[in-house]
Chains A and B, each alone.
Chain A
Amino acid sequence: MEKRVTFRGWVLPLILIAPQVFISAVFFFYPAGQAVWQSLFIPDPFGLSTQFVGLGNFEYLLGDRHYLASILTTATFSIFVTLVSMIPALFLAVLADRLIKGSGVYRTLLIWPYAVAPAVAGVLWMFMFNTRVGVVSWYLGQFGYDWNHVLNGGEAMGLVVIASAWGRISYNFLFFFAGLQAVPRTVVEAAAIDGARFWRRFFTIILPLLSPTSFFLLVVNIVYAFFETFGVIHTITAGGPQQATTILVYKVFADGFVGQDLGLSSAQSVILLVLVGLLTIFQFKFIEKRVNY
């Protein structure tokens, strides 16, 4: 789509577009290029010079037990975050959609967690499950369950999944609710007249009509779990215990800033860049609504 009526001149538009191009170049393209460049080198043990190793860093990573474990951790983490955030959201949206009055009040209350930063959500959940003072862990103890996410990798994973999914329930709820409101009443009513009960109507009519929304949410929740949950992991587990919650983005940080291995961290950044690129292309290919050229 293009405008028929445009203004003349090319100096003004170049000036107008310059700030964004400048910022993109300095803070996006140059660093991304640097990441690619640095990924081809390893520093010597004294950090005085670097040595060209070609794809050595990548080869090392793909054979590294810790990196492969981190890939698996990321996959597990993002699948669970997506499920735990989408299923309750759909359930709540279906309930809210059934109410003629009052759904606005519930919606107002339900969007709160979206505004809470992942890092703050991490602190809240860490407090509830804290091994010394946590309320939930204390009550679990009363029932004979000894909760300790500091030592138990499975429990640590469960906790970061719930803390990450919590705020996303609000987000998914809003999209599901909007999707449900758009389902034509006449179709649902026709099925009702034909005698279809609620759950039958839900699975045969409503859910299929919601599939574009569900698919869209599936993709954006996976992207969220991959790239936006750093705050949750850093505040609750710092990647532990024994790297049980070290997702790929966390590992870039841990190797680059804590471990100071620039080449290895950059190679991981490059792998993530490729991954984001693929996810974005996937998203555009299947959700073409987003931008039309």
Chain B
Amino acid sequence: MVDVAHGMVEKRGVRLWLTHVLMVLGVLVIFFPIWLAFVASTVTQSEIVRPPMPLWPGNHFWENYTAALFSGVNVPVATMLLNSLIMAVGIAVGKIIISLLSAFAIVYFRFPGRGFFFWMIFITLMLPVEVRIVPTYEVVAGFGMLNNYSGLIFPLIASATATFLFRQFFLTIPDELAEAARVDGARPMQFFLDIVVPMSRTNIAALFVILFIYGWNQYLWPLLITTDPEMNTIVMGIKQMFPSGDDVAEWPVIMATSIMAMIPPVIVVVSMQKLFIRGLIDSEK
């Protein structure tokens, strides 16, 4: 009976093939922009400026990628990659640390102002950086944090999402564990480091994936505060590679840079797919 029903729902043969064909078509359409960028990064400038450009990779891969990495347009792409890496890791690690600490305080202590601080953190959920850019820029400029890593990292660290996620998770840790720790005379920080943090490692890893991509893909904020090309991140630096006026853009180098800008987050997402999907669905629902 079950088999019959199964057979009726999951149609075999032609239907199955049709599904695969449609799926492959969908994947091809969605992949096309990436494919085209890759092809453009392996051919010469003259092949691109005389349209239509080829749709199959050429043999100038090394030439274009080394040109981008070591000379770039304004600044070597290697420098921008390093800046992006520092910014993304800084934001991810920073957010995770301050969120773990504040969630631990909120869940495991009763202290004056607890409710107030809880709401204060909660309300930052509602304040995306895009809507308060001018005054935030002034604060950062006032601290002398333009064109340095702390200016890239700190304003983006305080989001409430991670705090809420950890709070939800801490609430599911059995009370017996805290009870036992207290009876054994463990200090709160010992309990935090020996029990709470190790138990949260899956959540920490999942959040790291999400936050790394969030940090890597920032655009507006680095655009505002890094006027020195040496401090540009790769995602915002690509646009800076286009010449102003009528000069022709160096397409192969720009497209090689675009490919390099997407490789780290793609590797993170694809290799940590399970964690990533879990983190995504947990942090949104």
Q: Is the CB of B154 within 8 A of A27?
A: yes
Contacts between the two chains (Cβ within 8 Å), count: 303
Q: Is the CB of A112 within 8 A of B22?
A: no
User: Taking A111-B273, A119-B236, A119-B238 as contacts, is the C-beta distance between A21 and B26 under 8 angstroms?
Assistant: no
Which chain A residues border B224 with CB–CB below 8 Å?
257
Q: Which 4 A-B pairs have the closest CB atoms?
A: A117-B217, A10-B111, A34-B135, A31-B135
Q: Is the CB of A95 within 8 A of B19?
A: yes
Q: Is the CB of B239 within 8 A of A192?
A: no
Which chain A residues border B22 with CB–CB below 8 Å?
95
| Contact of B201 with A by CB under 8 A | no
Known pairs A115-B262, A127-B40; list 7 more (Cβ under 8 Å): A14-B111, A112-B30, A117-B216, A117-B218, A119-B219, A228-B128, A289-B285
Task: Write the nearest CB–CB distance from A66 to chain B, whole angstroms.
Answer: 18
Which chain A residues border B67 with CB–CB below 8 Å?
none
Which of B99, B188, B213 has most A Cβ within 10 Å? B188
Which of A12, A28, A30, A185 has most B Cβ within 10 Å? A28
| Contact of A40 with B by CB under 8 A | no
| Contact of A144 with B by CB under 8 A | no
Which chain B residues border A88 with CB–CB below 8 Å?
26
Total A residues in contact with B, Cβ cutoff 8 Å: 104
Q: Is the CB of A28 within 8 A of B158?
A: yes
| Contact of A51 with B by CB under 8 A | no
User: Taking A30-B135, A34-B135, A272-B131 as contacts, is the C-beta distance between A95 and B168 under 8 angstroms?
Assistant: no
Q: Is the CB of A125 within 8 A of B284?
A: no
Which chain A residues border B127 with CB–CB below 8 Å?
28, 32, 273, 276
Q: Is the CB of B20 within 8 A of A102?
A: yes
Which chain A residues border B213 with CB–CB below 8 Å?
115
User: Taking A10-B111, A135-B53, A231-B220 as contacts, is the C-beta distance between A23 and B178 under 8 angstroms?
Assistant: no
Interface residue SS majority, chain B: helix
Q: Is the CB of A256 within 8 A of B134?
A: yes
A120: which of B20, B48, B261, B277 is its contact (CB, 8 Å)? B261
Which chain A residues border B157 with CB–CB below 8 Å?
23
Which chain A residues border B258 with CB–CB below 8 Å?
120, 123-124
| Contact of A26 with B by CB under 8 A | yes
Q: What is the interface of chain A, defined by CB distance below 8 A to chain B? A: 1, 3-7, 9-10, 12-14, 16-17, 19-21, 23-24, 26-32, 34-35, 38, 88, 91-92, 95-96, 98-100, 102, 106-121, 123-125, 127-128, 132-135, 138-139, 166, 169-171, 174-175, 178, 185, 188-190, 192-193, 198, 216, 220, 227-228, 230-231, 234-235, 249, 252-253, 256-257, 262, 265-266, 269, 272-273, 276-277, 280, 287, 289-291
Which chain A residues border B217 with CB–CB below 8 Å?
116-120, 231
Which chain B residues border A12 with CB–CB below 8 Å?
105, 109, 188-189
User: Taking A98-B10, A291-B168 as contacts, is the C-beta distance between A169 and B102 under 8 angstroms?
Assistant: no
Which chain A residues border B27 with CB–CB below 8 Å?
106, 109-110
Q: Is the CB of B284 within 8 A of A133?
A: no
Q: What is the interface of chain B, defined by CB distance below 8 A to chain A? A: 4-6, 8-11, 16, 19-20, 22-23, 26-27, 30-31, 33-34, 36-37, 40, 48-49, 51-53, 55, 97-99, 101-102, 104-114, 117, 120-121, 124-128, 130-140, 154-155, 157-158, 163-164, 168, 171, 175, 178-179, 182, 188-189, 191, 213, 216-220, 223-224, 235-236, 238-239, 251, 254-255, 258, 261-262, 265-266, 268-270, 273, 276-277, 280-281, 284-285
A188 to B6, CA, bound (A): 10
Q: Is the CB of A280 within 8 A of B125?
A: yes
User: Taking A175-B281, A193-B8 as contacts, is the C-beta distance between A24 and B175 under 8 angstroms?
Assistant: no
A257 to B223, CA, bound (A): 11
B124: which of A24, A120, A235 is its contact (CB, 8 Å)? A24
B101: which of A19, A32, A139, A289 is its contact (CB, 8 Å)? A19
Which chain B residues border A123 with CB–CB below 8 Å?
238-239, 254, 258
Q: Is the CB of B108 within 8 A of A120?
A: no
Task: Write the nearest CB–CB distance from B126 to chain A, whole angstroms.
Answer: 5
A253 to B254, CA, bound (A): 25
Task: Write the nearest CB–CB distance from B118 to chain A, whole angstroms.
Answer: 9
User: Taking A115-B265, A230-B220 as contacts, is the C-beta distance between A127 and B255 under 8 angstroms?
Assistant: yes
Q: List 16 A-B contacts (CB under 8 A).
A: A17-B105, A27-B158, A31-B132, A31-B136, A112-B31, A112-B34, A116-B34, A118-B219, A119-B219, A124-B33, A133-B251, A138-B52, A234-B220, A235-B239, A269-B135, A272-B131
Q: Is the CB of A249 within 8 A of B130?
A: yes
A106 to B20, CA, bound (A): 10
